[in-house]
Amino acid sequence: MTDGADQVQIDARGLECPVPTQQAVEAMRRAREAGTAETLVVQLDDAICAADIPFQANALGYDADSERADDQQWTITLRPRNAATTQDQ
């Protein structure tokens, strides 16, 4: 979690709801509080969390881009919408 890092990887494969969402939300909250603007990449295979994370991200000021592979794997890329404004919230 260093400032200026391009991407933070979260490997939540094999973890079940709500753990992957928890990990993603905590990472986004930490980044928001620290005012960093890195992109988070979450890998997971829990369909419930794959559906939930974009909603959580949206509310935390992140854009979520979700890619599903054929074998129940999701890669969700979370990009801060605007680092400056999210800090003000």
> Binding to another protein (CB under 8 A): which residues in 13-42?
13-18, 21-22, 25
CB atoms within 10 A of CB 5: 11
Q: What percent of the chain is helix, strand and coil (3-state, nearest 5)?
A: 40, 30, 30
Under rule CB under 8 A, residue 70 binds another protein: yes
Whether residue 65 contacts residue 76, with contact meaning beta carbons closer than 8 Å, is answered with: yes
Under rule CB under 8 A, residue 5 binds another protein: no
Can you give the binding site for another protein, defined by CB under 8 A?
A: 13-18, 21-22, 25, 45-48, 50-52, 54-56, 58-60, 63-70, 72, 74, 89
